[in-house]
């Protein structure tokens, strides 16, 4: 089974002080041990870089250097396949935002779903399962439930 890994999961994968870290590590290990494939997107990597390098004094920032963040991105790239937007995923996105009347920040989740649809991925490991409930055929999986 293929799984897309959401940004929040990627961020907490490297934060051993986060309460979700243990569940995330176990979930990803379980997926890989059952021949599951892990994917993320260029959008997730961009969001990961943004939050990782944002000052810790700013909302949600981790305050990491570009060097540390790059090292972490290289790790992510080794253990996942990074998907990018295509003409097909763009068409899915356009349909999703119109059909579901998506507004504001939710357009980013719709983009993830569009890339999933274009690549035949049905499951996303996320900490925000409710963000994906509106999309038929997409199953949001919390790390604790893998």
The mean pLDDT of 96-123, rounded to a whole number, is: 97
pLDDT band, residue 67 (cuts 50/70/90): very high
> Considering the entire predicted model, what is its pTM?
0.94
Number of domains in the chain: 1
Distance CA 10, CA 4 (A): 11
Radius of gyration of the chain from Cα atoms?
A: 15
Question: Torsion angle, CA of 25/34/144/140, rounded to 10 degrees?
Answer: 110
Structural domain that includes position 51 = 2-145
The pLDDT of residue 50 is 97
The pLDDT of residue 91 is 98
Q: What is the CATH number of the domain that holds 88?
A: 3.40.50.1010
Task: Report how far apart, in Å, the C-alpha atoms of 142 and of each of 20, 26, 39, 96, 129 are.
Answer: 10, 12, 16, 23, 7
**pLDDT tens-place string over residues 33-59:** 999 999 999 999 999 999 999 999 998
């Amino acid at each position: 089974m293929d799984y897309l890994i959401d940004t929040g999961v990627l961020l907490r994968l490297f934060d051993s002080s986060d309460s979700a870290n243990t569940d995330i590590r176990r979930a990803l290990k379980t997926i890989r041990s059952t021949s599951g494939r892990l994917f993320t997107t260029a959008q997730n990597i961009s969001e990961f870089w943004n939050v990782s390098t944002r000052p810790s004094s700013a909302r949600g920032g981790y305050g990491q250097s570009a060097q540390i963040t790059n090292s972490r991105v290289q790790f992510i790239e080794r253990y996942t396949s990074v998907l990018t937007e295509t003409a097909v995923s763009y068409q899915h996105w356009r349909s999703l935002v119109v059909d579901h009347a998506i507004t504001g920040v939710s357009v980013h989740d719709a983009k993830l779903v569009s890339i999933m649809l274009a690549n035949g991925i049905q499951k996303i490991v996320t900490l925000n399962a409710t963000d994906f409930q509106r999309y038929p055929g997409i199953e949001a999986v919390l790390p604790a439930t893998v």
